[in-house]
Structure 1
């Protein structure tokens, strides 16, 4: 018995549905209000519901699974080529329906509520750091207009701000100085908010055995380990470590024709946040090895530029993470890869 495949285009209030009757071949298009969506699928036989991996897609995916339907999320970039003529809700739903039936299509795993909760903490922390950086740069720039020369670095620069304000009391209006001091208090509040989020992530880590195993990898800390577990979930959805590295955008782009393939820089596709965390961790590893005069890093840097070496280490870290999670093993500093038989 063939199950019915539905293409569902999500929106804030009005959803568009597209499906084909398996017995008659009749094409159906239907608009549903948000409050009527689950009622419609509750009265249908279990089928395959395809949606774009967009806002609220994971929520609807969980709810539809509770009703017995199979859910598949497709990246929006894979749906766009199948939109015919003008773009509208009906065309989008039809394109989703057509995309999900491609035999080689890749899908996005539906995240659990726990995964989304952890990722929400990461997103809020990331935004707070951006706001803090903007605030520090603004204070540095404004004081520079009055002749204050603050040293580079957030912590070093903020340490010199009180002395700079004291030196400017005779030349700058009190209302400006008071406002700057108020912004400094706001920076302290941002620091406290960021620290509170990190404490919550630390508490969540204690119950996650996989996170603890990942943190044994050099360059993988609390943020990287928790973000990977919350984003990926089941690592077995990736067939190899290289596929996981490609998901993070850490593999070279390819450009070729006529049998000649040219490798370019890294693709930078996939999750930007995870790629950034891994790259920063890899940079710390490379700098540490340089400081300790490790022979392997000297050999690598003699052949490749510094940033290329950092990305190569990040790629290796991604493959190591895949191996630990798929094989459910511990990190071994003395592990050596077995050479394939000739």
Structure 2
């Protein structure tokens, strides 16, 4: 029995498997637990498997590829129109198959193990940065209630915080002084943890030819931006050109055209918001540097002119769009994700 396609609705402990043959007849319709699911898929003849790009999907994609299957991941929002009125596991699995078999179907590149490791490090860093900001805001808020105003910048905050805790005549009660001291210790621990994670990311980035070239050739891109881009993009072969990568990251205008009239609005902001934020912030830094330089090269002159015509923010997003395309071109030239 030849199986044309298998759709799988993933969960942590329950898996719905839905398969059709060449005549589009249902030949597999099973719900399995985790242990049985692995055994079942290992015994299947080589097939094309479709799954939503959700939690755990990249792990299952690597596992199924090791069994010899061809695996395609689909973004959840592309599956939703095919689920139907009633959402359940079976309808989800059937909708995944229907979405995957569409001629215009677009797929998500499956990540390798080291790409997931690198992306996980960035997520840990994001979490610790949020903790760091929460702690500094809590300390500043508590101190301000007692007439002590602390600066926002981390270096100045650390210096003045030490002085404030040692000053016995600044109006802080012993209780609040003790509690703020404990919060400050937590802040220092989190800051050290951020530095540790950044060192791990830097060590990985140093071994990547793509990161080295991106830092050298693309203005506004450092090891954090380049490594995050490399970890997020998955399989570079999933994109036909740089514009598709920009669209994937939401850096192209949102279109609302009708009646032959083209209407372009603000950027769509699709995709990975954290990666987009990193790229845009780097582009803003590059735009500021271009505006300050007196001796322009071609890139700086173009950025400066665009900034004068369209404004700083539009110019920064345009630089971000260009940087994404350049990073894709570098990665595509290297021909293989390292």
Q: One fold, TM greater than 0.5? A: yes
Report deviation, 1:206.
2.8
Contact 1:169-1:177 at 8 Å conserved across structures: no
| Residue matched to 2:20 | 20
Q: How does 1:1-342 map to 2 (within 5 A)?
A: 3-22=3-22, 25-167=25-167, 169=169, 171-216=171-216, 217-293=218-294, 294=296, 295-328=301-334
Q: d(CA) in 1 for partners of 2:132 and 2:152? A: 15
Report deviation, 1:19.
1.4
Cα 1:23–1:80 shift into 2, 3 Å = closer
Contact 2:283-2:319 at 8 Å conserved across structures: yes
CA displacement 1:159-188 (0-9 Å, x = unmatched): 222333455656332121111111111111
Q: d(CA) in 2 for partners of 1:168 and 1:267? A: 54
Output the TM-score relative to the length of structure 2: 0.92
Q: d(CA) in 1 for partners of 2:191 and 2:170? A: 31
Q: d(CA) in 2 for partners of 1:297 and 1:64? A: 46
Is the partner of 1:261 in helix, strand or coil? coil
Cα 1:107–1:26 shift into 2, 3 Å = closer
Report deviation, 1:35.
0.5
Output the TM-score relative to the length of structure 1: 0.91
CA displacement 1:117-142 (0-9 Å, x = unmatched): 11110000011001101111111111
Q: d(CA) in 1 for partners of 2:152 and 2:75? A: 41
Q: d(CA) in 2 for partners of 1:143 and 1:184? A: 12
Q: Give the length in aligned residue pairs.
A: 329
Report deviation, 1:291.
2.2
Q: d(CA) in 2 for partners of 1:37 and 1:24? A: 23
Q: d(CA) in 1 for partners of 2:137 and 2:168? A: 19
Unaligned ranges ≥5, structure 1: 330-342
Which deviates further from its counterpart, 71-80 or 150-159? 150-159
Unaligned ranges ≥5, structure 2: none
What's the RMSD between the two structures over aligned residues? Answer: 1.9
